[in-house]
Structure 1
Amino acid sequence: MEYIPNILFIVFAILGFGLFIRNILKIRRNIFLGKDENRSDHSFERWKILCLVAIGQGKMLKKPISGFFHIIIYIGFIIINIELIEIFIDGIGGSHRYIGYLLPNTIYNYITSILDIFALLVTFAVLIFFFRRNIINVPRLNSKDLLGWPKIDGNLILVIEFLLMMAFFSMNASDYRLQQLGVYITIGNFPISNFIFGGLFSELSVHSLEIIEKSTWWFHYLGILFFLNYLYLSKHLHILFAFPNTYFSNLNKIGQINNLDSITHEVKLLMDPNADPFTTASDGNTPEKFGASDVTDLSWIQLLNAYSCTECGRCTSSCPANITGKKLSPRKIMMNVRDRIEEVGRNIDKNKSFIDDGKQLLGDYITPEEIWACTTCNACVEACPILINPLSIIIDLRRYLVMEKSAAPQELNMMMNNIENNRAPWQFNPSDRENWSKE
């Protein structure tokens, strides 16, 4: 009976981390359903971007209020979860604040005080975010893109974080009271926890305090395991994927659109009078499809982008097409890509390999009207705090419509016909091209 709590602790850890690893491997499988793209170049520059943007939160403060409180949660969450080291030691070994016995009392008191203060800052930031999302109703956090589960998810994660902080304060306050009563050796300093719950716990019996201390300790531990696995269902996967996403981000100049090798080869053939028109592409292969109509036509980088999106809406709130009432929402583009690749993944899980479900990204999830509303201004790319690129997906979907379906808007078709026939976007005879200089 004495070792049952320790055994349960280990069992929950194995189940929690096992399920987490299983879910992460599924996501990894889904991401690599995308086409190969080499992003292994310029490692030093990539590490620099990772440190500045993901670790250093370099783009968050472009929106000062939300950026400031996000950084508080980011730093506070990292610091507070340092306590998990002690929780695991105590949970496996059956000890109580084991690290406190290893460190000098002054240092341990300093550490626990810092944890207490940051827990308060995190709690305050969570309340601010909840207030902005539900009372002030910040437009980008309440648009139609977020109806249903995304809206619930955004609030649920704030509630979970708030409850974890309350459990943290309750655990520390009851622990300190038990120290005062001589049940535990005096160790640690908990100024905020005592301020919040000290008065409430001062009249409780030892038995009641022990129940509160143990139950909140377990709640904090199981809450962390639950949160870890909840990430699989949540937009908060960016907690994990923001780091690889920034590392593998596009290093080309913003606005530079990649060329298709097969098309480049054809153009070179047209410009070379000595070329054999019947030669194949330079790599010996003609692509099965130009552009993308479904998620498996996209690159693994684009799918990683989709899983990294935190649905903050900075991209959509910066999009001139969206601002002027068009259907396009870059955030929705990323959410749709993630929804579709998850659907494809479930299809594979069920059937062992993908069986055509009669659906595709273009048409069933994203409409042509949305992608043709894009002005390719790159405002969404510039706005994203973790360097997601919705524009690259829009361009690939457009390429499919133009090159595979000949389904470009009339204005674009006229322009392309003019270029083909007149060698200029305008509808006049090539022999008249220099007439403007005569005036």
Structure 2
Amino acid sequence: MISQILFSIILIAAIYLFSKNAGKIRRNILLGRDVNRSDRRAERWRVMAKVALGQTKMVKRPVAAIMHFFIYVGFIIINLEVLEIMIDGIFGSHRIFSKPLGSLYGLLIGSFEVLAILVLVACVVFLARRNIVRLKRFSGTEMTEWPKSDANYILIIEICLMTAFLTMNAADYKLQALHFGHYIKAGSFPVSSLIAPSLSANPYSLEITERVCWWFHIIGILAFLNYLPYSKHFHILLAFPNTWYSNLEPKGEFSNMASVTNEVKAMLDPSFVPENNGEPASFGAKDVTDLTWKNLMEAYTCTECGRCTSVCPANITGKLLSPRKIMMDTRDRITEVGNNIDKHGKDHQDGKTLLDDYITREELWACTTCNACVDACPVNINPLEIITEMRRYVVMEESQALASLNNMFGNVENNGAPWKYSNADRFNWAEKLGSGQ
């Protein structure tokens, strides 16, 4: 009874803490501007099933795709076993699903064990890729000590959890064979039965091993759950809504700015009155609260995998821009804004902005708007939207476009085209064609 009470207290505390921290992230996301991403629902379900559930954008890198698939499936399926552990912990039962599921239970436990081994292998491979092979896309100015450590922590935690799971089952397997206590014959153990001979033959030592691993496994999972809001691995939960709310328009299509549209309508129709609820028109984004809630959701969904940066032509040619850094900076800034709200209230101004304090203008103007980063992201994150919104602010609010862009703007205004030639001279080049020269 004491262990049941203790487990219930730990479970309730873990769920409460996770809900509190997840609620702060939700609050931070909703600080962004509103945008409608609820249309074309059938298409959105298909995109989510294909990209988030089906992992279709991972296959461009086959080795990573296979390893990630092992961890992804293992995480989803093995954690079904957590439900049984929680019920056993609350009610003091042991393998409560074994009787109602019958022979299917043995198949499930056997499958869990095979997946556990695959997860272990994948985690070891990923650790080697990061720390021994040192793939280039896992480095960069934004990949400071914490992002690198965060990735390693998660992989090590997964290895520990899977090891505890298999050791727990190995001790359980031997205790079942000894008909010890309440350890009824239940389950199939194709992997842990191979580990069992290395464990003690003493049933009391086996029971201690099984209980220690049981507690370590379930507390480790609850601790992992509460670590997620502080980690890039929050994408485990956000990848699904993030892909559901994807931009379904063609990648090269820019959205019209309502404030600009209103000004054009007012020029064409003097009687036009914009519906802006009395708020002054603004252009682009200077800080995170000028971005949409979808932009902020994407910042929290970023996996820091570096696929976007590895295909960015600006980054490849040595420019300062890294699309991954754009997302990480956005996440860091909105988290800072949220912390300021918690400490000082919602009206607090810390004098900092996403532009200049986090993202430099050199980074913004290095972007070629090619959409390579958008195409490469495995969960449909769009760094380009943030870049273009900040460019809009620089150009339309501060009038600080690059000199080359100002020349182009002047040509468009005066000549109707980006080039310096007037309309009257535009087809002079064709005159030589008629004369045969």
TM-score w.r.t. the length of structure 2 is 0.95
**1:61-86 Cα distance to aligned partner (Å, 9 max, x none):** 11111011111111111111111111
1:76 to 65, 74, 77: 74
| Structure 1 residue 422, shift from structure 2 partner | 2.4
Checking the alignment, whether the CA contact within 8 Å between 1:302 and 1:393 is kept in structure 2 is: yes
Paired position in structure 1 for 2:214: 217
Question: In the aligned structure 2, how far is the partner of 1:185 from the partner of 1:348?
Answer: 54
- Does the residue aligned with 2:191 lie in a helix, a strand or coil? helix
1:338 aligns with 2:331: yes
Deviations 1:122-181 (A, max 9, x none): 111111111111111111112332121100001000000000001001100011111122
Q: Determine which of 6, 9, 21 is the counterpart of 2:7.
A: 9
How far apart are residue 268 of structure 1 and its match?
4.7
Partner of 1:115: 112
Aligned partner of 2:242 in structure 1 is 245
Equivalent position of 1:206 in the other structure:
203
Structure 2 Cα separation of the partners of residues 429 and 295 of structure 1? 41
Among residues 122, 127, 132, which one is paired with 2:124 in the alignment?
Answer: 127
User: What is the CA distance between 1:430 and its match in structure 2?
Assistant: 3.3
Give the aligned partner of residue 186 of structure 1: 185
2:399 equivalent to 1:406? yes
Report the counterpart of residue 315 of structure 1 in structure 2. Answer: 308
The counterpart of 1:388, out of the listed 374, 381, 397, is: 381
Residue 374 of structure 1: aligned partner:
367
1:289 paired with 2:289, answer no
Give the gaps of 5 or more residues in structure 1: none
Inter-partner Cα distance in structure 1 for 2:278 and 2:56 = 42
Instruction: Map Cα deviations across residues 98-139 of structure 1 (whole Å, 9 max, x no partner).
Output: 1112222x3221111111101001111111111111111111
Q: What are the Cα deviations for residues 2-58 of structure 1, in whole angstroms up to 9, with x where unaligned? A: x11000111011000111111111111000000000111111111111111111112
Deviations 1:251-305 (A, max 9, x none): 10011110112212333555x4xx33x8543657664421000000000010011
Partner of 2:343: 350
Tell me what 2:435 maps to.
none
Q: Could you tell me how far apart the structure 2 residues matched to 1:23 and 1:269 are? A: 45
* Alignment pair present for 1:98 and 2:96: yes
> Could you tell me the TM-score, scaled by structure 1's length?
0.95
Paired amino acid for 2:292:
S
Cα separation, 2, equivalents of 1:413 and 1:368: 16
**Which runs of no fewer than 5 residues in structure 2 stay unpaired?**
433-437
Q: What is the rounded CA distance, in whole Å, between the counterparts of 2:201 and 2:354 in structure 1?
A: 59
Q: Is the 8 A contact 1:32 1:300 kept in 2?
A: yes
State the distance in 1 between where 2:138 and 2:256 align.
Answer: 35
Counterpart of 2:82, as a letter, is L
Query: Relative to 1, partners in 2 of residues 1:401 and 1:40: Cα closer, same or farther, differing over 3 Å?
Result: same
Q: Does 1:138 align with 2:135?
A: yes
Residue number in structure 2 paired with 1:43? 41
1:186 Cα deviation from its structure 2 partner:
2.0
Q: Work out the number of aligned pairs and report it.
A: 430
Could you list the per-position Cα deviations for residues 191-225 of structure 1 after superposition, in whole angstroms to 9, with x for gaps in the alignment?
21122x22211x44222111110010000110110
CA distance in 1, matches of 2:421, 2:116: 69
Runs of 4+ in 1 over 6 A off after TM superposition: none
User: Which residue matches 2:147?
Assistant: 150
Query: How far apart, in 1, do the equivalents of 2:282 and 2:260 lie?
Result: 12
State how far apart, in whole Å, the 1-side matches of 2:32 and 2:106 are.
50
Write the letter of the residue equivalent to 1:208.
Answer: S
Q: Which of 162, 168, 176 pairs up with 1:171?
A: 168
Alignment partners' CA distance in 2, 1:279 and 1:368: 36
Paired AA for residue 378 in structure 1: N
* Counterpart in the other structure of 2:294: 301
What is the distance in 1 between the residues matched to 2:294 and 2:76? 27
Give me the whole-angstrom Cα distance separating, in 1, the residues matched to 2:302 and 2:107.
37
Contact 2:109 2:187 in 1 (8 A): yes
Tell me, yes or no, if the aligned pair for 2:88 and 2:95 is still in contact at 8 Å: yes
* Equivalent position SS for 1:135: helix
Report SS of the residue matched to 1:144.
coil
- In structure 1, distance between residues paired with 2:259 and 2:349: 27
Question: Is the 1:34–1:300 Cα contact (8 Å) retained in structure 2?
Answer: yes
Letter in structure 2 aligned against 1:9: F
SS at match of 2:320: coil
- Report Cα offsets for 1:390-418 as digits up to 9, x if no partner: 00000000000000111111111111011
- Kindly, what percent of the aligned residue pairs are identical? 53
> Secondary structure of the equivalent of 1:59?
helix
Q: CA deviation at 1:89?
A: 1.4
CA deviation map 1:341-376 (0-9, x unaligned): 000000000012241101000000000000100000
Q: Distance in 2 between matches of 1:125 and 1:206?
A: 33
Distance 1:142 1:199 in 2: 43
| 3-state SS of 2:97 partner | helix
Give distance in 2, aligned partners of 1:285 and 1:385: 40
Structure 1 position 231, deviation (Å): 0.2
Contact 2:259 2:281 in 1 (8 A): no
Are 1:32 and 2:30 matched, yes or no? yes
Root mean square deviation of aligned Cα: 1.5
Residues 259 and 283, structure 2, Cα contact 8 Å, conserved in 1: no
